[in-house]
Amino acid sequence: MTRPGGEWRNWGRSARVRPQRVEFPNSTDAVRRAVQAAARRGLAVKAVGAGHSFTGIAVAPGVLLDLRELTGVVRVDRERERVTLRAGTHLYDIPRLLRPYNLAMQNLGDIDRQTIAGAISTGTHGTGSRFGGISTQVVGAVMVTADGELLTVDDEHNRELLPAVALGLGALGVLVEVTLQCVPAFVLHAVDEPGPLEQTLDALGQRAEDADHFEFYWFPHTDVGLTKTNTRLPATAGRHPLPAVGRWIDEELLSNGLYGAVCAAGTVVPALVPPFSRLAVKLTGDREYTDWSDRVYTQHRGVRFREMEYALPVENLRPAFDALRALIDENRWRISFPVEVRVAAADDLWLSTAYGRASGYIAVHRYWRENPTEYFEAVEQIMLAHGGRPHWGKMHTLDATALRERYPRFDDFIALRDRLDENRMFQNAYLRRVLGE
């Protein structure tokens, strides 16, 4: 999608642009030269990874820096279990790169299509009441600033800037290297099982506290919660992965092939959605297996969608979910995509949705050929009423005025941005809206 003279589109087809210039830097020096050249021409610059954000955060009307060639391991600190990666490295490649060192990422989300720079810049997270988002694993970074110079942030250099740079929205510069604090490789014992929705909700807090990783999915028009509980085990524990055929049937034939066909049909005949949802919770979500952590955390999502997700104080998770259920019932909407509910630990990153508070996450989705506006905007009002903060890479309507009230370190971030990018070289329409002029 990012060829010179062509149109760039994100994965969800919710954002597009025809950049004035597209470059494919394959080194830090190449990124520096591109930024310096853009500055001389008075062009704005945006770095782009996998395009898996649903907002316009990566839209680049000036110079688009496609980082697909800026990948791989830079160095490994075996003693401290730290790995430095080039910014364009995809999450799905990282387990393979870490395996020779018997290391793994501490936590992942359920999709691994993003690049490491894109994932941390938008606040991508997984689930687990004792684990933060991917950005909390960042212990160092190298960034090209607006003057084309390098800014190193780590234990020895500019350490005070890490809480801003580790989740910077692409507003401070172009990340070229990211250093992760890894952990020894481990496996996960996964138990996926359906249960009565009311029981799932009643036990939500306790199950989230008791498990290493807990989440559940709810298909509207059903009374079932599809729960996922993952327990961390050492790498020496026996692996009992899903049989290849069974995994293909669950994750490709049913969850992608058949499900995609029903979503498409549901746009024409909405009445098909409720009975299929009731069938879906009977056919999927009931299995037990043990495998390498990355093979349990992530799944292939082939059906294109659009998404909005809000982080709430964890104590507000249940009332917000109940209000969402009532909203769908009252409006008699036919929603084919499930609602996803997760939890995460508090952290100290300035623009993290979990800054200063243990957080619960509610994510809503719509098939990409359906207009999500009415559904998303109504859900958003519920989330805001319960203290919600929107995921930076997923659809929402908030601007800088509203966001400043929700982030105690918002103005500190803006002050750092003023210092590093006074002329707003890395700005686009989305950043102008969420961070201000």
Domain extent listing, the chain: 73-184, 187-390
Cα 399 to the center of its chain, rounded Å: 20
Predicted confidence (pLDDT) at residue 249 exceeds the cutoff of 90: no
Percent of the chain with pLDDT over 70: 99
- Identify the pLDDT of residue 252: 81
Query: Which pLDDT tens digit goes with each residue over 416-434?
Result: 999 999 999 999 999 999 9
Give the residue-averaged pLDDT of 203-222.
97
Amino acid in the structure at residue 228: K
Predicted confidence (pLDDT) at residue 316 exceeds the cutoff of 70: yes
Strand order in the sheet with 150-153: 73-77, 82-86, 174-181, 138-144, 150-153
Give the residue-averaged pLDDT of 187-206.
97
For residue 225, the 8-state DSSP code is E
Give the residue-averaged pLDDT of 57-85.
97
Predicted confidence (pLDDT) at residue 16 exceeds the cutoff of 90: yes
Topology (CATH) of 187-390: Vanillyl-alcohol Oxidase; Chain A, domain 3 (3.40.462)
Collapsing DSSP states into helix, strand and coil, what is residue 325?
helix
Looking at domain 73-184, which CATH architecture does it have? 2-Layer Sandwich (3.30)
Across-strand partners of 360?
A: 312, 343
Predicted confidence (pLDDT) at residue 303 exceeds the cutoff of 70: yes
Tokens of 35: 């930024």
Among 171, 67, 188, CA closest to 116: 67
pLDDT, the chain, mean: 95
Give the residue-averaged pLDDT of 196-210.
97
Q: Residue 348 — left, alpha, or beta (φ > 0 → left; ψ -120 to 50 → alpha)?
A: alpha
Residue 2's pLDDT band (boundaries 50, 70, 90)? low
Q: Write the burial class of residue 245 (CB in 10 Å: 0-12 exposed, 13-18 middle, 19+ buried).
A: exposed
Give the residue-averaged pLDDT of 170-188.
98
Tokens of 217: 């999915």
